[in-house]
Amino acid sequence: MDVNIVVMGTESVGKSALTVRLLTRRFIGEYGDIESIYSHSFMVDGREVTLNIWDSPSSEDSSVETSLLEKKVQWADGYILVYSICDRASFNSISRFIQTIKSTKDYLNTDKVPIVIVGNKRDLHHRRTVLSEEGRLLALNTNCHFYEVSAAENYHSVLMAFHGLVDRMKDVKPTT
């Protein structure tokens, strides 16, 4: 199985940190704001899965220029929507990404859209402004999966989020 995944979210929520953590198991702290597509393979239920992950500069997703965002949405089969638990504005922007995905892609079954919402920076709990329950409720209301993770301190949590998305993608195929 070969799938395309796009990582979206506002600036500095940890999109690159999550991607690099998945690929290298490392957290390096500082990441350039560059456009990259990474490939990563692993085994799921005895089958090799290759993920092509598009990590893009934050400025693109927040820009008024929506055509690039739509191009990314078209390219992808699955979506990781990231916010920071310390950044309320980043959480508020998640709904807009979900809207864009749902209106660009035409899913046969909207009960199981291939979207995983990720609340990152769980290690910064003393600076938390978004409750876990809020993330969970948003996911419930939009038929997405939800994970709280820490790219900085917990490789396993990051792995679970990406695996959760792959699991979801197995039974969803858009009509367009």
- According to the binding rule CB under 6 A, does residue 72 interact with ligand GDP? no
- According to the binding rule CB under 6 A, does residue 23 interact with ligand GDP? no
Per CB under 6 A, which region of 101-109, 118-126, 129-137, 162-170 contacts ligand GDP?
Answer: 118-126
Show contacts with ligand GDP in window 27-46 (CB under 6 A): 29-31
- According to the binding rule CB under 6 A, does residue 152 interact with ligand GDP? yes
Q: What is the Cα–Cα distance from 76 to 82, expressed in whole angstroms?
A: 16
Q: What is the Cα–Cα distance from 112 to 145, expressed in whole angstroms?
A: 9
Q: Are strands 36-44 and 47-55 parallel, antiparallel or unpaired?
A: antiparallel
Q: For residues 71 and 127, which CB has a smaller minimum distance to ligand GDP in the complex?
A: 127
Q: For residues 49 and 86, which CB has a smaller minimum distance to ligand GDP in the complex?
A: 86
Question: Which residue is nearest to Mg ion, using beta carbons?
Answer: 16
- According to the binding rule CB under 6 A, does residue 62 interact with ligand GDP? no
- According to the binding rule CB under 6 A, does residue 124 interact with ligand GDP? yes
- 46 C-beta neighbours (distance < 10 Å), count: 5
Q: Of Mg ion, ligand GDP, none, which one sits near residue 4, judging by CB under 5 to 8 A according to partner kind?
A: none
Q: What is the Cα–Cα distance from 2 to 75, expressed in whole angstroms?
A: 13
Q: Of ligand GDP, Mg ion, none, which one sits near residue 23, judging by CB under 5 to 8 A according to partner kind?
A: none
Tokens of 141: 């209301």
The burial of 158, by beta-carbon neighbours within 10 Å (0-12 exposed, 13-18 middle, 19 or more buried), is given as buried
3-class secondary structure, 29: coil
Q: What is the Cα–Cα distance from 116 to 162, expressed in whole angstroms?
A: 8
Q: For residues 6 and 13, which CB has a smaller minimum distance to ligand GDP in the complex?
A: 13
- In contact, 6 and 52? CB cutoff 8 Å: no
Q: Of Mg ion, ligand GDP, none, which one sits near residue 152, judging by CB under 5 to 8 A according to partner kind?
A: ligand GDP
Residues at the site binding ligand GDP, with contacts judged by CB under 6 A: 9, 11-17, 29-31, 58, 120-121, 123-124, 150-152
